[in-house]
Structure 1
Amino acid sequence: MSGPGFAVIDFETTGLFPTGNDRVIEVAIVHVDELGRIEGHWDTLVNPGRDLGRQDIHRIRAADVMNAPTFDQIAPRLVELLAGRVVVAHNASFDSRFLIAELQRAGHWTNANLVTLCTMQLARDFLPGTGRSLADCCAAYDIELDGAHRASVDAAATARLLGAYVESANDPAFWSEDIGAAVAYKWPGMVAQEIAWYPRPDSAHPMTAASFLARMTHHLPDVAGPAEYIDYLALLDRCLLDRHLSAHEVEALVQLADELGISRHSCEALHLEYFAGLTRIAWEDGILTTDEMADLVDVGNLLELSLEVVSAALDAPTPLAPESLAVVDPAQAFALRPGDLVVLTGDMTRSRDVWEGELVARGFTPWRAVTKKVKLVVAADPDSLSGKARKARDYGIPIVGEVALEKLTRGDSASG
């Protein structure tokens, strides 16, 4: 696996400052031989243990990294893939600084004098007058770059760009000094760990009831009664507060159903009952507004209810539920009241100062720390891994996104 040759690397990160709080959240490595030919590629998401920063740029969700390895877990394998090779990146200064910072944070001493080459800097020799971005350099060689800001895509494109440079130079001596220095470079010794790398999924499907019902067996004996049903429905209502099911919420529902002894069949019945209660509330005034219809459709889709059930709810009020199931009134479950403490976390589309001003203007209290007195936590991503989000889950405080905050603070309860 070691050199000689090149190891093209690309990181996706939470931000721009490796020596501050920013962390690596995705890494890709592509091996290129001395003649510019691609030999292999590897990539993985990385759990940074904090929020993910500008998710609109890298498009990685907190749910994607929940089960990913941490950097210290992938470090031995990563160093193995880099050893004996010239480290190459497009803007190598950025990637090498993150590499060194993460290795040092994980307790591994690293000589800062890495042997690196930068395809952005090399463009001055091979592509004079071309823009410095990876897209510009790739376009000059007609190299495809579809899905930028995905580590595997950027690393693969950079590897092909390096291959084009090697071919253009047509002189092995141009690279020999760096290749020789890379073979001699001493990386820190590490004990290999049997940690599977965790590539980013090709597509991100929204969570629905299918995400957790499939994990429950039809044959699990149901030992629950009305009290357990109410507990489950109360959690379901909290999870659907923002009409979004986060991965953390799915885990919480699975765990609670297991702890309470609620079978898959009963969970499905409880979902129907929850929807029936929501439908009755929507029809209380005898009119179903466009917003109420949209809300019922959203909840029906999240609960994986049949088209027939959802269509019937839009046509007429749902009959009263069977007495065998306990009912939680969705309209009474959660509401923000004047003075309630609200905590914000993560990089949102609106600045924190703007949101805090909005909260104050509407009679709520922005709060910086998560305590048991906080009523609501608002995150850029409801699956946020920030310390505030983790503490909120410990305390059972709802976590919602910006859209839900807008509805709740305007008194437009997400419960219909």
Structure 2
Amino acid sequence: MTHLRGRSMSIGISSHRIADTPLAIIDFETTGLVPGFDRVVEMSVVRVDPGKDPVVVYDTLINPGRAMGATEIHGITDEDVENAPFFDDVAGELLAATKDCVIAAYNVYFDIKFLNFELTNAGVAHVPPHLCLMYLRTMLGLGARCKLDVACREHLIEYSATHKAADDALAAGQLFAVYRNEIEKRGINTFGDLARLKKYKFNDSFQYTPFPSPEKFGLRRFNGALSRAGYSIEVDPTRQALSAYWDTLKSILADLEVSEEEFVQAISVRKEAGLKKEQIRMLHAKAFSGVIAQFIDDQWLDDRETLKLRKLHQCLSKLGWAPGE
């Protein structure tokens, strides 16, 4: 078993000025939805330092140490990651890239779960403060929760949803630059001020401290990366359509509840993507089977897991189809 080095602290960032605090936007491509059963296959870090524009500071494919999954979403194959580093190899680079930063992601509830799993697996027991850019949009009254490409389009940010981690993280970083201007204009000074605007789960993470240097956890730096950045990816219309709805599912299923707003959003995304009922069923089945595979991996299915499966089934059913229907 990997020995855990370090632990989360509770001093927090609530009193920190947002304008003076660096932000690190992370984006992961993964084999599926379930951390542990599924693994990260690509990661990118975009750093936004005070007064500066977003910049990609680290980007690499990751060997998941298992068979590839969700290629139809992100386009990454087993061959692509054959010579890529494992997450353990690059954990030190990730911490160096995010040192002293508040972590952000467009859908942080998805990415933070994978971040915490992968780092714990690498021996780092530290939960950083984090911010969800998808919900920051609603906190600031800039519009309803929506997909990354929709938010970018509304704020005139050039972005094509290729499902490359670097592209997604950079687009999210450019969105934060827009939101940062709104924060300053409204006189919101600290993260504590921000948290008082509206209650979201990620606000609780403001009690934690940012990542220190990787040396604090005994991690070595890794000299190398295998990046897709700069490589042109042919946009497959079918993969793009599947990706659009998969992203929506990730967001909706994060809390195992489907609001009316989320239901309308799902229908709209499916209609816009032109998905057929067979494709919708496939993605719903993929989400459900991934969770089942994780839960039964230990040859056991406890009451908590059973309840989660029941809730997941209800969510998928409300969205139009669940396995067995």
TM-score (norm 2): 0.56
| Post-superposition offset of 1:129 | 3.7
Q: Retained in 1: the 8 A contact 2:44–2:56?
A: no
1:123 to 131, 134, 137: 137
Structure 2 residue ranges without an equivalent (≥5): 1-19, 195-205, 235-281, 287-325
Q: Retained in 2: the 8 A contact 1:35–1:166?
A: no
Q: Which residue in the other structure is 1:234 paired with? A: none
Q: Retained in 1: the 8 A contact 2:29–2:164?
A: yes
Q: Deviations over 1:328-361 (max 9, x none)?
A: xxxxxxxxxxxxxxxxxxxx99x99xxxxxxxxx
Q: Deviations over 1:36-85 (max 9, x none)?
A: 62244321000001122111100011111111000000001101111100
| Counterpart Cα distance in 1 of 2:166 and 2:180 | 21
Q: Which residue in the other structure is 2:91 paired with? A: 75
| Post-superposition offset of 1:137 | 1.1
Asked if 1:193 corresponds to 2:193, the answer is no
**Cα gap change, 1:160/1:204 in structure 2, threshold over 3 Å: closer, same or farther?**
closer
- Does the residue aligned with 1:170 lie in a helix, a strand or coil? helix
**Cα gap change, 1:203/1:144 in structure 2, threshold over 3 Å: closer, same or farther?**
closer
Q: Retained in 1: the 8 A contact 2:24–2:98?
A: yes
Q: Which residue in the other structure is 2:151 paired with? A: 137
Asked if 1:10 corresponds to 2:27, the answer is yes
| Post-superposition offset of 1:197 | 1.1
Q: Retained in 1: the 8 A contact 2:95–2:211?
A: no
Q: Which residue in the other structure is 1:110 paired with? A: 125
**Cα gap change, 1:204/1:143 in structure 2, threshold over 3 Å: closer, same or farther?**
closer
1:92 to 98, 108, 111: 108
- Does the residue aligned with 1:8 lie in a helix, a strand or coil? strand
| Counterpart Cα distance in 2 of 1:197 and 1:50 | 19
- Does the residue aligned with 1:153 lie in a helix, a strand or coil? helix
| Counterpart Cα distance in 1 of 2:113 and 2:233 | 30
2:58 to 42, 46, 63: 42
| Post-superposition offset of 1:133 | 0.9
Counterparts in 2 of 1:220-369, with a 5 A limit?
none
Q: Which residue in the other structure is 1:101 paired with? A: 117
Counterpart AA for 1:31: R
Q: Deviations over 1:214-267 (max 9, x none)?
A: xxxxxxxxxxxxxxxxxxxxxxxxxxxxxxxxxxxxxxxxxxxxxxxxxxxxxx
| Counterpart Cα distance in 1 of 2:41 and 2:137 | 27
Structure 1 residue ranges without an equivalent (≥5): 206-347, 353-416
Asked if 1:160 corresponds to 2:174, the answer is yes
Counterpart AA for 2:223: I
2:71 to 34, 44, 55: 55
1:146 to 160, 165, 187: 160
Counterpart AA for 2:109: S
| Post-superposition offset of 1:183 | 9.6
Q: Retained in 2: the 8 A contact 1:36–1:162?
A: no
Identity of aligned residues (%): 33
| Post-superposition offset of 1:93 | 1.3
Q: Retained in 2: the 8 A contact 1:85–1:182?
A: no
| Post-superposition offset of 1:142 | 1.1
| Post-superposition offset of 1:140 | 1.1
Larger radius of gyration: 1
| Counterpart Cα distance in 2 of 1:83 and 1:167 | 23
Q: Deviations over 1:281-335 (max 9, x none)?
A: xxxxxxxxxxxxxxxxxxxxxxxxxxxxxxxxxxxxxxxxxxxxxxxxxxxxxxx
- Does the residue aligned with 1:87 lie in a helix, a strand or coil? strand
**Cα gap change, 1:60/1:7 in structure 2, threshold over 3 Å: closer, same or farther?**
same
Q: Retained in 1: the 8 A contact 2:58–2:94?
A: no
What RMSD over aligned residues (CA atoms) do the two structures have, in Å? 3.0
Q: More helix per residue: 1 or 2?
A: 2
TM-score (norm 1): 0.44
| Counterpart Cα distance in 2 of 1:26 and 1:103 | 14
Larger RCO (alpha carbons 8 Å, 6+ apart):
2
Counterpart AA for 2:172: T
**Cα gap change, 1:175/1:153 in structure 2, threshold over 3 Å: closer, same or farther?**
farther
| Post-superposition offset of 1:9 | 0.5
User: Number of matched residues?
Assistant: 203
